[in-house]
Chain A
Amino acid sequence: MMKNRYLNYHGLRLFFQSLDDFSAFCRKANVNFSMGSSLYSDLFYGTDSEIYVPLWASVAKTGEDVLLNHITLNVIRFYKSYGYEPVHMDGNPADFAGEQLRFAEYISACALNGSMDLPEAEKVLCEFENEFLADTLHMIQRAICRYSDDTSVLFISKLMDSVISGNYFPWDADPMECDSYNTRKHSAIPQEEPHTVSIASNSDCGSKCKLLATVCEGCLLEINPDTDGCAIRFTGCPRGRAYGHTFLTSKRLRYPMERTGERGEGKFRRISWEDAVRKVADITSESGRKYGPGSRFVINAAGVSAAIRGDRFMKNLLALDGGYLDYYNYYSAACALYINPYIYGKVLAGNHESTYTDSQLIILWGFNPASCHFGLNPKEYFMRAKGNGAQIIVIDPRMSDSAITMADKWIPIRPSSDTALIDAMAYVIWDEGLEDREFMDRFCIGFDEDHMPEGVPYGESYHSHVFGIKDGIKKTPEWAQPITGIPAETIRELARLYATAKPAALLPGFAPQRTMVGEQACRGFIALACMTGNVGVSGGSTGVPGLKEGHDCPGMSLYPNPYPGKIPVFQWTRAIDAPETIDPVHRGLKGVDRLESGIKVIYSLASGIIINQHSNINDTRRILQTPGKLDALILSDLFMTPSAKFADLLLPAVSFFEMDNIPGTWTAEDYLLYNHQITEPLFGCRFEYDWIREVADIMGLKESFDAGHDGRDAWLRYVYDQCRLSETELPDYDTFRENSCHVFKNNYPRVNFLENIRDGVPFDTPSGKIEIFSKTLYDMGRKDIPGAPGHIYCPEGPEDPLQKKYPLQLIAYHTKRRCHSQHNENPLLEELDPSRIWISTEDARERGINDGDIAEVFNDRGIIRLPAKVTDRIYRGVVAVSEGGWYKEASDGADIGGCINTLTMSDKATPLANGNPQHTNLADVRKYEVKNESN
């Protein structure tokens, strides 16, 4: 009996170990068995994006797609108490079905070879099966039988039945010939006690929290914010507490893969790391040779926002191999980053959030700090200001969480109409003589005709624009009302309030600058801040979103790129599709006059851009699927993301739980954190650096790639030490690592431009003043890039005649449940804000849509199908879908994952920065009628 039992465990363990080993065993035992290797790979290595077979007790016992949880720990403890040390078969967690069988095999072998009592062995096995193995095998059975009724699958399912039920399959084999037969019983292995580890994630979250993970035997038991580990009290957020359910999951990519199906189909085969590395080297060298260095593009990636990161290493390697096409801008803040230097003479022109406690009035304009963490908890400062008596006004098309929880007043506005509201406010302020004339005259240029740069004809100042000198249209509140949707009287009150509350902080979020008129919006905010004399004042603001000055954060510097060309990041699809159309004037090409080649190879390392975060997904799909356009997409990620499905080489990466790093704070914060690894890399997952270095080796570039830093740790140390050169207060690396945290004592001035205002130091602009009017821009001579701030026509904005066809304006919003596309699959977070089409009660009624009905928001670019959220929390005429939902194509081509970029445009970019206008879209909504599938 025990002999049979042993053979059953043994056989099934071999199956989970490798198809070849199991087939050999079957042959020897005269059992007819054959399974295709692609079927095996799809079921047990996760190489088909449509197939999901969990193999671990952690999933079986909780129903959650989680690895390395308390169940895994229980399994390890069980093993260890019987002297079994897990071997982590193929990199699997210890509660992998194969390893469980291996343990059972060990116990039964011990009973057979006499090193353990038979009754005791039986008792242990029975207990182990009841507690872990039976549920694990049942789960696997269920899953594999769902995908395939191949006889080989049924046979394996039968073998599992026989293990669970005890009606053992009669293997015709000699136990003594099995590799595990002679293992002797070991005495119990000492067990680790739970302990806490200081962690901080790599997510591109605007906050960076010091969290404490409770860890035992490499299993994650719990995460809590560190409330007393250093001078800052971290509060964390639901995402942080649920990091385990995001990153340590059974949906992780496990092994390197190569595409087998059509690009985008999500079908792959497993390959070895040696093969993968060789292929990356070949593709890289070949593209360089064939098309030149500019054919290679490392795409914008925010998945590892930390000191050492794959995309930078890849760029460095390419730099050593002749270069690569680089990019500038980010999807977050293209316009703000681009425009600030023209006006203020520097990018980081914001104030520190702590200064807002002095405000009398705070206007959160398209800014939702209650949900979006921008820096460490700015919300706390705003609430403190409120406690001090400040009023908070939220301007947003949506009644955001901030509008609900923080604001005294919510002013709904039509998207992409911010410039009209700004102009009307400026009108009222001037008209009623509320402007701070002294400030304007002393520090600014371009407000009125008396303060203009040389050589600009009459009528170009901001005042002239507002009072309609050239176009005859006074930008009154009545003029703005139909554009913005805000009653003229409300605009008047708002303008007066802002101009008279001293100090007042106008705080835009990044949303208004992610519209087609993003640059003008940024310039307008600054103009208002200057008109009211709120610049250089604590409690005032510069009108700039975030972007404060602060401490350096360790970040890898790049090797000089021999190829000088740079494109705005938003133009990458165009650079594949129609590289000849990329020029310096209209498409923002820099460094070269034209592209010598289109992009032929993309390296996407920890990025969700390819299919999800970049606009117009259906067009991107077309480009990626048209033969001859892109030669190779090399992609490294944690999950089978919508982008990953399009990879040609798909490589599994490690999460921040699996490696040390120094996370990058977004806005140059007053502290620095160290993230400690809590567990070994899962499966075949590797930090990109590790394989890039091997690629460098094959290409004969290892020595220069290393530049004397012979490993990941050396790099991390080096990058940190580089930062210490400017941040002299930082302790040595080992001390910092030990403390996991450094809170700076000597901080930057909290209020920006203090020196300029107080001491009259000139601004770093051509005129030495704040350039409300920029001659540099004016001289470009473009209608869509005026010299002054002010409302301009916005394609697909509130005044576009296309509204007749698509009467609704569609925007995205950042949701508290995700960080861009990260956490999307985390079920714990989903319920914080399920993906919905937000639509106003009136718009829904007109379309016969009730709350919860399945609806479609659509335009010429595509369709998103989701349940409708019918609510008074969104302005009439506006619909919204949260940003970051994973694109998922239904059989009819609609997106049912809730990815806003199904409907956003990529053919047009903002005029100056070539930024992404993702909140400027026209669309309509209809109720979805389930069509009868007739065939």
Chain B
Amino acid sequence: MSKRYIIVGSGIAGLSAARAIREDDSNGQIIMFSAEDNLPYSRPMLTKAPFISFNPDDWTLYDEDWFMENKIELRLGEPVTKVDTESKVVTTSEGSCSYDKLIIASGAESFVPPFNGRDKKGIFTIRRTEDIISIKKAYHSHTRAVVIGGGVIGLEAAVELARYGASVTVLESMPYLMTRQIDNEISDIICVKLGELGMEVHTGVQISSLDGDTWVESVSLADGRIFPCDFVVVACGVRAVTSMLPDTIDVPRAIAIDDHCRTSAEDVYAAGDCAQYNGVNYALWSQGLMQGYTAGKNAAGGDVTVGKTDTSLVMNSLEMSLFALGDLGKNPDAEYTIRYRSSKDSPDAFLVNPPQGEFFEKRYISHGKVVGAAIVGNLSGMQELKDKINNEEETE
């Protein structure tokens, strides 16, 4: 008899799992439940596509025909509300359904820290297509937006808001931007670039409250500074979606998985932003893609272990590009030599479009190997650096 696979979530992890199952099991029944109404799309494009031309349909990953061809039953707008691992049944908003193998790929949702006043209207996060549409609706002429969180998503959103015409202020609680991935110097360069786009960036701030009547009107800091605004975008990271899971599944912060993407419950796998492996959840596309694949293969009877996740940080918009990977001086015990390169070293007389050719590169070298690096500007040297770092190549 053919197996029935249930996949919770139609993000990249869920899709990748479905594809992997189909590779090995052409008969099994695959049902995919999605809490969202639209066909699966590329989530990172929410902040990478220009706000002006934003059209969710442009970023659809697979259309209806694909689901038909691959015999995957896609149930849009039907979230799974309960999972029973004893009787192997999931309950959805419409009914219930038993499974042989269950793959949880419910992803994550945006995290809003418990700021005072966080329930006010006009406070947005970015995780789904509707979020972008709501933000655009809230825009009007002379819009001032405050973005809380100076990570990749916050900065990408800030750049797009600025391009859409808003005056934007970015507030970051850490002493500089993206403390996990880059260093102070790169952060400063980025702040200058953002400044050129007319943005204000404040780091090391402590938010005390979001104020306003019913709609947010300003953001106050502990030091007394006040930033009047028309709306706020919060980009302070994500939390795994696990509320529908029973106690039989071990969820420390995200769903714990082993190297086969197995959870603590039998026949239940998890992958992507909802999962953590070895206590780590990068919440990155590449992780969802790889874990989804692993979970799908194993659910279909295979024996596959998780690979390495490409953890490089890449931001690439017209106005600003940034790449960072590896250790940019974060290890207090290590000794680093630093090497710089930039487009100024070798002005290329034949460059077609000089502004697009400029770059600044910084490498951290430890024990003769490039351990980390960042590039701001033209990223054409990115792959080479990536290889150097990933393959732990010796430097010349």
Interface residues of chain A, those whose CB is within 8 Å of chain B, are 60-63, 71, 130-131, 134-135, 138-139, 141-142, 144-145, 157, 160-161, 164-166, 404, 831-832, 834, 851-852, 871-873
Contact = CB atoms under 8 A, between A and B. Distances in A.
14 contacts: A63-B52, A131-B55, A135-B52, A139-B165, A142-B141, A144-B141, A145-B141, A164-B139, A164-B140, A165-B137, A831-B352, A831-B353, A834-B353, A852-B354
The 5 closest A-B pairs by CB, nearest first: A141-B141, A831-B353, A145-B141, A142-B165, A161-B140
Contact of A138 (B53, B55, B165, B347): B165
Interface in B105-164: 133, 136-142, 163-164
A145 B349 CA distance: 42
A141 B353 contact: no
Interface string B17-51: 00000000000000000000000000000000010
Interface residues of B, number: 22
B353 A61 contact: no
Contacts of A832: 352
Given A142-B165, A831-B353, A871-B349, A135 B140 contact: no
A507 to B, nearest CB: 25
Interface string B333-357: 0000000000000010110111010
Given A62-B53, A63-B52, A872-B349, A138 B140 contact: yes
A62 B52 contact: yes
A145 B139 CA distance: 14
Interface in B43-75: 50, 52-53, 55
The majority secondary structure among interface residues of chain A is helix
Q: Which of A144, A832, A852 has its CB near the most chain B CB atoms (within 10 A)? A: A852
A157 B140 CA distance: 8
B136 A60 contact: no
B347 A134 contact: no
Contacts of A852: 354
A199 B163 CA distance: 35
B139 A138 contact: yes
Contacts of B141: 138, 141-142, 144-145, 157, 161
Contacts of B50: 63
Contacts of B139: 138, 164
Contacts of A63: 50, 52-53, 163
A60 B52 contact: yes
Contacts of B140: 138, 141, 157, 160-161, 164-165
A135 B349 contact: no
A851 B347 contact: yes
Contacts of A873: 349
Nearest to A129: B137
A160 B137 CA distance: 11
B195 to A, nearest CB: 18
A135 B352 contact: no
B349 A138 contact: no
A138 B136 contact: yes
Contacts of B53: 61-63, 71
Given A63-B52, A834-B354, A871-B349, A165 B138 contact: yes
A745 to B, nearest CB: 41
Contact of B136 (A134, A141, A144, A872): A134
Contacts of B138: 165
Interface of B: 50, 52-53, 55, 133, 136-142, 163-165, 347, 349-350, 352-354, 356
Nearest to B132: A130
Contacts of A135: 52, 136
A141 B142 CA distance: 9
Contacts of B142: 145
A832 B349 CA distance: 13
B137 A164 contact: yes
B52 A61 contact: yes
B57 to A, nearest CB: 9
A141 B356 CA distance: 31
A333 B233 CA distance: 61
Contacts of A134: 136-137
Contacts of A62: 52-53
Contacts of A139: 52, 165
Contacts of B352: 831-832
A144 B141 CA distance: 9
A852 B349 CA distance: 12
Contacts of B163: 63
A9 B245 CA distance: 47
Contacts of A130: 133, 136
A305 B323 CA distance: 49
Nearest to A166: B137
A62 B58 CA distance: 14
Nearest to B57: A131
Contacts of A404: 350
A71 B50 CA distance: 15
A157 B350 CA distance: 46
A138 B137 CA distance: 9
Nearest to A61: B53
Contacts of A138: 136, 139-141, 164-165
Contacts of A145: 141-142
A412 to B, nearest CB: 15
Nearest to B140: A161
Given A63-B50, A161-B141, 8 more contacts: A61-B52, A63-B53, A139-B52, A141-B141, A144-B141, A157-B140, A165-B140, A831-B352
A657 B332 CA distance: 66
B135 to A, nearest CB: 11
B49 to A, nearest CB: 11
B187 to A, nearest CB: 25
Q: Which of A61, A130, A404 has its CB near the most chain B CB atoms (within 10 A)? A: A130
Nearest to B347: A851
A878 B136 CA distance: 52
B298 to A, nearest CB: 40
B24 to A, nearest CB: 40
A873 B142 CA distance: 46
B176 to A, nearest CB: 28
A623 B53 CA distance: 47
A774 B63 CA distance: 78
A141 B141 CA distance: 6
Contacts of B164: 138
A268 B347 CA distance: 46
A871 B351 CA distance: 12
Contacts of A834: 353-354
A407 B293 CA distance: 55
Nearest to A157: B141
Nearest to B164: A138
Nearest to B129: A130
A835 to B, nearest CB: 12
A198 B85 CA distance: 66
Nearest to B163: A63
A267 to B, nearest CB: 25
Nearest to A71: B53
A873 B163 CA distance: 37
A404 B163 CA distance: 38
Nearest to B55: A131
A404 B55 CA distance: 44
A142 B138 CA distance: 14
A131 B137 CA distance: 11
Contacts of B165: 138-139, 142
Q: Which of A61, A142, A157, A871 has its CB near the most chain B CB atoms (within 10 A)? A: A142
Contacts of A142: 141, 165
Contacts of A872: 349
A130 B132 CA distance: 10
A71 B58 CA distance: 13
A753 to B, nearest CB: 41
A12 to B, nearest CB: 14
A165 B142 CA distance: 15
A815 B55 CA distance: 37
A784 B138 CA distance: 73
A368 to B, nearest CB: 15
